[in-house]
Structure 1
Amino acid sequence: MSRRVALAAVTATAVGLGLVVAGPAAAHQTAHQTATPTAVTRAALDPSLVAGRGANVPFVEQEAENAATNGVVIGPDRNAYTLPAEASGRKAVKLAPGQWVEFTLPKAANAVTVRYSVPDAPNGGGITAPLNLTVNGGNKKTLTLTSQFAWLYNQYPFTNDPNAGLLHPDWWITECQCVPAATSPTPEITKPFRPMHFYDEQRLLLGKTYKAGDKVRLTAPANTNAAWTVIDLLDSEVVGAPHVRVLAANVLLFGADPTGRKDSAPAIEKAIAFAKRSNLKVYIPPGTYQVNRHIIVDDVTIEGAGSWYTIIKGKEVALPTPAPDGSVHTGVGFYGKDAADGGSRNVHLSGFTIEGDVRERIDTDQVNGIGGAMSDSTIKGLYIRHTKVGLWFDGPMDNIKVTDNIIVDQIADALNFHGGVTNSVVANNFIRNTGDDGLAMWSEKNPNVGNVFDRNTVQTPTLANGIAIYGGKDNVVSNNLVADPLREGSGLHAGSRFGAEPFTGTLKFTDNTTVRAGTFDLNWRLGLGSIWFYALDRSIENDIQVTGDHYLDSTYNAIMMVSEWGVKDLYSITGVKFKNVRIDGTGTSVLSARVKGGASFENVDARNVGAVGINNCGSFNFPPTGSEFSVTDLGGNDGGGTTGPWAGAWQLPNTITCDDRPPVVAPPAPSPW
């Protein structure tokens, strides 16, 4: 969520500027070769393991750790604040100057996306560094990498300054096990403190189409100013010809500058006004267009030539005085009218890139790629990066469809339905490297009702959850793929938090897959479930159906039910029904219950379970009658791990089996069921 209540202290192993943490064998993994072609993966898994889950995207993904290289493979590592932990699959390749990594194309491609990290500047603000790309040893191109949009530090809401002292010295700090402001002498905190958000990505059109089997080599030049360059992955694809709309209000005719030198916002607004009078669409042809403020859209269709060709790019601009909504900056974005003013309707945006300039998190700022209220509208085929939130909708509003977009490198969420969004669909979107929840529904003041998040892929959120639902009624989360959440959240989440309206009606999690989910919450100092339910503001007692989900390689437990210690005797979680669920690998338990209430389980199959199947602490009162949390066994709950069946009769229905922080047993890699 973008407007998050700050949690107490969080930390893990702090790394200094430029430090790359490698797994035990990483130092010896140099100059290795791979078969042709380099393995194709989805979320760093064999695609067969996630068939039918997640977005259908135009590119193929290849992990650097599977490619040929004379560099060093770093990872695996799941500790926050480390470079491999933020990499897809928790591994990447580190290149010293002069070193390379080489991918063998699995199919034809004329365009690539490189996900990478380079060091920050010593005093923050980032650097730029070259990366050479060759195909079959020739056709050299040079990408200019940057860390200007990466490297955040410190406590929420973070800073770009690696040398900053604590932003909140009155918060509990895990590193010193203390509240520094109340401690004498004040403890020293290692700087830079809690570095994170290391990665960025860059697209490149290759100028011609190469065939399967051709070799794409990425080389850190010998004279690069980057002490190291980390390559996480390469996406490759065939990009078609630019889309052309002849009969339209072409923004060039109204003075737009496709070179990006001149502000094109006035010209785009003139084209919109003309299009509405003339019942035409607006067309933005190939080019880079400078826009440094919001374009207000209502009852208009705007088409680009395709997100690889039409780029709307802006600078973040400081406002002379704060706006009524609290914003102190503005920036590039397409916004519907405020819901209080009736909102916008019949808005259709497609086929272009929105590229912002957001480098810090200021929650009051409206510097999102898409914003406002838009009913009966569609957002399709956009590429959004370097904004605060890709799409933040403030309801009430109804019937928006957000489909086939790529949203990457955000300071906060990729998409948030905030307060009263109804009957809307978010489907087939690809999301990577968000600074908060990937997809969220936050029912603040007004419930979100009747919405669907379907067939989306969310990878490497550096904070919070892949997909999170905060209150609301009759919402569905289905067929999604969530991988590699980092901290203070996990793969899938339902929480009565942040002042959200209560859960009512039915909430469905259906046929989703998580992989390498279940982060270590550093405030609580325990591992979260790959899917977790949190009763903080009130009880969760509606009908929640979890059906057909797969939880793969869960770092801790697969499923968690939890409340806060201060309200543990006030609130409960009841009515959650798990059916036809597969769990392949848990570091600890299948179920961790840390709240009163209960859940039912039917045909939940588990294997490679690292600890007791049900870790039942209830609400920690430990009455002689058994735990305050009851597990209802509806049959067919098979499999287990080192301690026997995960749902053994001796654990049911409410045996206290509480191991507050059980040891973690790393599971084997997921495999076909």
Structure 2
Amino acid sequence: MTRLAPPPLTARSRRSLDARLTAWVAAGVLLATAATTTTASATAQPGPADGPVATRAGLDPALVAGRGADVPFLEQEAEQAVTTGTVLAPSRDAYTLAAEASGRSAVQLTEGEYVDFTLPADADAITVRYSIPDAPEGGGITSPLDVRVLRSHRGHLTPAGPARALRLTSEYAWLYNAYPFTNDPQADLTQPDWWYPECACVPGTTTPDWLVKPFRPSHFYDEQRLLLGRTYRAGDVVRLSVPRGATADRTTIDLLDSELVGRPEARPRGSVSVLRFGADPTGRRDSGVAFQRAVDWASAHDRTLWIPAGTFQVNQHVVVDDVTVRGAGSWHSIVHGREVELAEPAPDGSVHTGVGFYGKHAEDGGSADVHLSGFAIVGDVRERIDTDQVNGIGGAMSDSTVSDLYIHRTKVGLWFDGPMSNTHVSDVVVTDQIGDGVNFHRGVTGSSVTNSFFRNTGDDALAMWAQVDQNSGNTFARNTVQTPVLANGIAIYGGRDITVEGNLVADPVREGSGLHAGARFGAEPFEGALTFRDNTTVRAGGLDLNWRLGLGSLWFYALDRSIDADITVTGDHYLDSTYNAIMLVTEFGVKDTYRIDGVKVRDVRVDGAGTSVLSARTAGSASFENVDARNVGWAGVNNCGAFNWDFENGSEFTAADLGGNDGQTSTPWGDGPANWLTRYLPNVISCNDTPPVVAPPAPSRW
């Protein structure tokens, strides 16, 4: 996307931002230090450095250089800013505000308190990630937040521009209970026949007095964007403060993104505007019918459809086929809509509709040659109904592109139902979803998601699910994932010749981890090559609450069948894993039927693992070459195999040492430190369901 903006972020383009950020750190312009834990007093408390602190995934940008998306904004964590509020102690315990925060900490403000962010670069727009409480009966509340930009003058901060205000809301946050969740904090169990680890029982057959309401609150955060009306300079201070009389008794600020957006992009020559067909740029009237007329006309006449700057209300699916739709930029061209209840369920089971751009169903031939770019899609989805088609992008699109979109508050950002091929998603920002960020579902081939950013998804941020029809030849590359509340950062369910490369995944919260390959959910088998290459995970490998077991930052799971494709893991970095760096597991009920074989791991770094580098709970095999580990809490290898306990012949899982594996860890036998791998070769049983966890130090340069 071309941006019209003054220095320093000009025509060099946003793709150079990562390199410039690293250079600024080296030059001392930015002070990007690791997060520290403090509790602020009633007076303003400095962060860890008196200057701008910009991070990526809550870390020094140098630790993740070259991984993840190049984005046009700079991230600043509230816990590293100056504040009169209280910094939440870091936590990775699910169902807590700290655990769902980026970097696992945030700042909590009450009336009159503030947090100050010093701009690390010129900016004219900000994004605030926040949480405020739910209404007692559910459904959310609203509460104000004041925004003021200040400038230092003779040692004092003075206003640099007019005060602005944000109307914060919790209407799109706060889910409760078990899947598929509810907005009602006082609801009884949504799945009364399920087993619940909170009581280790089947509630339907016991007295449910143990249930504390609200049960399992989650999905606490939302975000809002604000154009500041003018460009402010690097070094100016953005103060977020809670005004007197605020509805919320506490306002939690997680982070601030600052960005130089510039003016709206110019209308392409030869394009036709949606205004010509009656679309209303003020958002007061529903423009759904006008948008569909405009799309159909542009397709029939081979013209680009232009969405000018404005806010357009669209309360329906816009069906797109053989058409190019462009906007003036995702900050300027906003397509938003209400969720609308249908008079009767649709054939696909939907009970609602809402704003979204959809290809035709694959059963109807699908769509092709669709190109969408340069606008925002903002939905109105507040609950998870899996049959509902209320996604930002949907349907089947072949030979198509989706780029430079901002997708907010829909059910799933982009859910593609194949068969379809050769569709490429790039440079999109997807936030605050009830479900996935992206899902390539059934028969998607030769397609990719690259250089895109995902935050606060309610399920897998990026997923490929080869259900019924095999996926093949797909790639997820150079994407950033932050704080998926449920499930995984990136999940691959079956497929042939799949690549996951150069991604950055941070802070998955529960029932999943950073990177995942699963033979589950009825997926087709893994075939050909499955490649994980040059990815970085941060604070992943957490506790699975149902199994009560620590996962791996990368984990393989055989439930429906064995996993025996050509699997290579090369160049990954696993930073600050809560439990394990890598885990391979087969469901216990099929442990003597299914295996995970032939995983090849090389040139990998493990910097911090609460328990082990490798946890094997399956029959099978893996090889390791040039895998370096440090700050490992329990033992290098936790090898349980298939749990048949053949101490004479060893575990059913075999590890091969191909050389160059360095790093000392403790051993479960208490005989001092050992090379993380050598002591356990080839299949020494070293099994512990709940090994002691030793929290590692913060990651540092290798």
TM-score scaled by length of structure 1: 0.95
Q: Which residue of 2 aligns with 1:33?
A: 46
Q: Give the CA RMSD over aligned residues.
A: 1.2
Distance 1:585 1:285 in 2: 49
Return the match for 1:205 from 211, 214, 227.
227
| Corresponding residue of 1:123 | 137
Q: Deviations along 1:292-351, whole A, 9 cap, x unmatched?
A: 110000000000110000111011111111111111111100000111111100000000
Q: CA deviation at 1:659?
A: 1.0
Counterpart amino acid of residue 210 in structure 1:
Y
Could you tell me how far apart the structure 2 residues matched to 1:24 and 1:289 are? 43
Asked whether the equivalents of residues 665 and 676 of structure 2 are also in contact (C-alpha less than 8 Å), the reply is no
Displacement of 1:28: 5.9
1:626-665 maps to which residues of 2 (within 5 A)? Answer: 626-643=650-667, 644-665=673-694
> Equivalent pairs: percent with the same residue?
66
Amino acid in structure 2 at the alignment position of 1:214: D
Output aligned runs, 1:245-264, within 5 Å: 245=267, 246-264=269-287
Q: CA deviation at 1:273?
A: 2.3
Asked whether the 8 Å contact 1:606–1:646 carries over to 2, the reply is: no
Number of the residue aligned with 1:595: 618
Deviation >2 Å, runs of 4+? 23-31, 34-38, 185-188, 640-650
Give the distance between the partners of 1:142 and 1:355, measured in 2 at CA: 20
One-letter identity of the residue aligned with 1:347: V
User: Which of 70, 73, 79 matches 1:65?
Assistant: 79
Alpha-carbon distance in structure 2 between the residues aligned to 1:39 and 1:208: 22
Question: Which residue is 1:389 aligned to?
Answer: 412
1-structure distance, mates of 2:199, 2:39: 31
Partners of 2:675 and 2:128 lie apart in 1 by 41
**Structure 2 residue 219 is the aligned partner of structure 1 residue 219:** no
Separation of aligned partners in 2, 1:608 and 1:265? 56
Alignment partners' CA distance in 2, 1:316 and 1:600: 50
Match of 2:697 among 659, 668, 672: 668
User: What corresponds to 1:99 in structure 2?
Assistant: 113
Inter-partner Cα distance in structure 2 for 1:167 and 1:447: 33
Corresponding residue number in structure 1 for 2:153 = none
What is the deviation of 1:662?
A: 0.4
**Which whole-Å CA distance do the structure 1 matches of 2:530 and 2:664 have between them?**
28
Q: Tell me how far apart the structure 2 counterparts of residues 247 and 278 of structure 1 sit (CA, whole Å).
A: 11
Matched AA of 1:566: G
Amino acid at match of 2:609: T
Moved more, 26-35 or 451-460: 26-35
| CA deviation profile, 1:152-180 (whole Å, cap 9, x unmatched) | 00000000000111111211122222111
Which residue does 2:212 correspond to in 1? 190
Correspondence for 1:49 = 63
Separation in structure 2 between the aligned mates of residue 640 and residue 63 of structure 1, nearest angstrom: 33
Shift of 1:143: 0.4
The answer to whether the aligner puts 1:151 opposite 2:174 as a matched pair is yes
How far apart are residue 646 of structure 1 and its match? 4.4
Note the C-alpha offset of 1:253.
1.1
Show CA shifts across 1:541-565 (max 9, x none). Answer: 0100000000000000100000111
Report the residue type matching 2:293 in the other structure.
Answer: K
Distance in 2 separating the partners of 1:29 and 1:97: 12
- In structure 2, the CA distance between the partners of 1:28 and 1:99, relative to structure 1 (3 Å rule), is closer
Pair 1:174 & 2:187 matched: no
**Residue number in structure 2 paired with 1:352:** 375
Structure 2 stretches lacking a partner, 5+ long:
1-35, 151-157, 668-672
Structure 1 residues 110-156: Cα deviation after superposition (integer angstroms, max 9, x where no partner): 00000000000000000010000001143210100000000000000
In 2, Cα distance between the equivalents of 1:248 and 1:512? 40
Match of 1:131, as an amino acid?
L
Task: Note the 1:432-443 alignment, pairs <5 A.
Answer: 432-443=455-466
Equivalent residue letter for 1:532 = W
Judge conservation of contact 1:601–1:637 (CA < 8 Å) in 2.
yes
User: Using the alignment, how far apart are the partners of 1:468 and 1:66 within structure 2?
Assistant: 31
Structure 2 Cα separation of the partners of residues 647 and 37 of structure 1: 40
Residues 294-373 of structure 1 mapped to structure 2, 5 A cutoff = 294-373=317-396
| 3-state SS of paired residue (1:507) | strand
| 1:615 alignment counterpart | 638
Shift of 1:248: 1.2
Please list the CA deviations of residues 534-587 of structure 1 after superposition, one character each: whole Å capped at 9, or x if unmatched: 000000001000000000000001000001111111100001100000000000
Instruction: Please give the alpha-carbon distance, in whole angstroms, between the structure 2 residues aligned to 1:171 and 1:588.
Output: 30
Letter paired with 2:693: V
Q: Where do 5+ consecutive residues of structure 1 fail to align?
A: 1-22
Correspondence 1:77 to 2:106:
no
Give 1:26 deviation, angstroms.
3.6
Q: Hey, what does 1:375 align to over in structure 2?
A: 398
| Corresponding residue of 2:253 | 231
Range that drifts further, 595-604 or 277-286: 277-286
* Local SS of the residue matching 1:172: coil
Tell me which of 579, 582, 587 is aligned to 1:556: 579
Residue 595 of structure 2 is matched in structure 1 by 572
Q: How does 1:501-520 map to 2 (within 5 A)?
A: 501-520=524-543
Q: Measure how far apart 1:30 and its partner are.
A: 6.4
The Cα shift of 1:27 comes to: 6.7
- Compute the TM-score of the two structures, normalised by the length of structure 2: 0.91
Indicate the SS of the match to 2:208.
Answer: coil
Q: Secondary structure at the match of 1:49?
A: helix
Kindly provide the amino acid, as one letter, of the partner of residue 488 in structure 2.
Answer: N
Aligned-partner Cα distance in 2 for 1:400–1:385 = 21
Whole-Å separation in 2 of the counterparts to 1:132 and 1:495: 45
Deviations 1:31-87 (A, max 9, x none): 311434321000000000000000000000000001000000002000000000000
Contact 1:36 1:104 in 2 (8 A): no
The C-alpha deviation readout for 1:611-661, integer Å capped at 9, x for no partner, is: 110000001011121000000110101003344234343310000000111
- Asked whether the equivalents of residues 590 and 646 of structure 1 are also in contact (C-alpha less than 8 Å), the reply is no
Which residue does 2:11 correspond to in 1? Answer: none
Say which is worse superposed, 287-296 or 476-485, in terms of deviation.
287-296
1:277 aligns with 2:303: no
**Whole-Å separation in 2 of the counterparts to 1:439 and 1:651:** 34
632-641 vs 609-618, which moves further: 632-641
Deviation at 1:271, TM superposition (A): 1.6
Deviation at 1:276, TM superposition (A): 2.2
CA deviation after TM superposition for structure 1 residue 195, in Å: 0.3
The one-letter amino acid paired with 1:237 is: E
Partner residue in 1 for 2:155: none
1-side partners of 2:255 and 2:40: how far apart?
20
Deviation track 1:377-411 (CA, whole Å, cap 9, x = no partner) reads: 00000000100000000011000010000000000
Contact 1:308–1:353 under 8 Å retained in 2: yes
Deviates more, 1:293-302 or 1:633-642: 633-642
Q: For 2:292, what is the secondary structure of its paired residue? A: helix
Alignment of 1:584 with 2:586, yes or no, is: no
Cα offset, 1:244, TM superposition: 2.0
